[in-house]
Amino acid sequence: MKHILKISVTDVIPEVSAVLEAQGIPAWRQPNEQIQQLARDAISIYKQHAQPAGMYAEISPGEFGNVFEGEGLNDDASPVKPIAGASQTLALYTVTIGKNVSDEVSRLFQSNDFAVGSMLDSTASEGAEMAAQAVQNAYRQFLNESHRYDHNTGILRFSPGYCGWDISGQKRLFAHLSPADIGITLNNSFLMQPLKSISGVIISGKKEIFSFDDTFPFCRDCTTHTCRERIKAVLEQ
């Protein structure tokens, strides 16, 4: 069964510090007031234009295997497949901040307002991540209410384009989930429209299945290694 979520804008408003960090300014550095004001202005614009929405639908391991296979371009050593194979439940998901924010970013760039446009772009990216987390939380609540989640269970999401899951995996994911229901489409390059959208799989299972080292070949190309913090949070729940 497909679950469509209306996400409140107030639940996906990033902090100024998060926007600045996305701009490459670490939390320990105190930027000048002008830069902080740019971030606040971008957040204010984001509040006016964001239209967050998400959806998820459970999928069987066999069905997910077919989705994950995609166009046959995945890294042979991707950790996603064995983690999914050891899971208790799986759900495909998509989430978006909506078209209006991306349109506003484009308008700002076209009018040469690069400072605010760049800040708004980072704000929308952070907001999309928060919206994806909101969908994951909703799925966890669904599992809890159906008595399929307890203190031994962990939950984590993975997306095409990361962890050895090729971006072309979007094609079968979209065919299975039909996220056009919330206004998300896929182009021939496997990129989502609106741009500030995220898709993937939410995996739940025993916490230990999510423990893996970031020593895969594709990890060398990752600039953030945010999986470390997310895995740590799962293991310490």
In angstroms, the CA 84 to CA 88 distance is 8
d(C-alpha 167, C-alpha 198), whole Å: 12
CB neighbourhood size of 9 (10 A): 17
Residues in Cβ contact with 60 at an 8 Å cutoff, skipping those fewer than 6 apart: 90
Report the C-alpha gap between 144 and 121 in whole angstroms.
Answer: 35
Q: What is the pLDDT of residue 99?
A: 96
* Per-residue tokens: 40: 């606040």
CA distance 62 to 110: 46
- If we measure between CA atoms, which residue out of 122, 119, 114, 111 comes closest to residue 42? 119
Top-level class of domain 2-235: alpha beta
Count CB-CB contacts under 10 A for residue 80.
22
Give 80-86 contacts, CB < 8 A, sequence gap 24+.
80/158, 80/163, 80/164, 80/165, 80/201, 83/156, 83/158, 83/203, 83/205, 83/209, 83/210, 83/212, 84/201, 84/203, 85/61, 86/205, 86/206, 86/209
Per-residue pLDDT of the chain (237 residues; tens, 9 = 90+): 999 998 999 999 999 999 999 999 988 888 899 999 999 999 999 999 999 999 999 999 999 999 999 999 999 889 999 999 999 999 999 999 999 999 999 999 999 999 999 999 999 999 999 999 999 999 999 999 999 999 999 999 999 999 999 999 999 999 999 999 999 999 999 999 999 999 999 999 999 999 999 888 889 888 888 889 999 988 887
What is residue 30's predicted lDDT score, i.e. its pLDDT? 85
- What global pTM score does this model have? 0.94
Domain locations in the chain? 2-235
Distance CA 15, CA 21 (A): 10
Determine the pLDDT at residue 142.
97
Strands 53-58 and 2-6, bridge-based pairing: antiparallel
Q: Residue 206: what pLDDT?
A: 96
Q: What's the confidence (pLDDT) of residue 237?
A: 79
Tell me 154's DSSP state.
Answer: E
215 φ, ψ (degrees, to nearest 5): -120, 15
- Calculate ∠ Cα 122-123-129, nearest 5°: 90
Buried b (16+ CB within 10 A) or exposed e, 130-146: bbbbbbbebbbebbeee
Tokens of 168: 């072309």
List, in sequence order, every residue forming a beta bridge with 158; answer none if it has no partner. Answer: 201
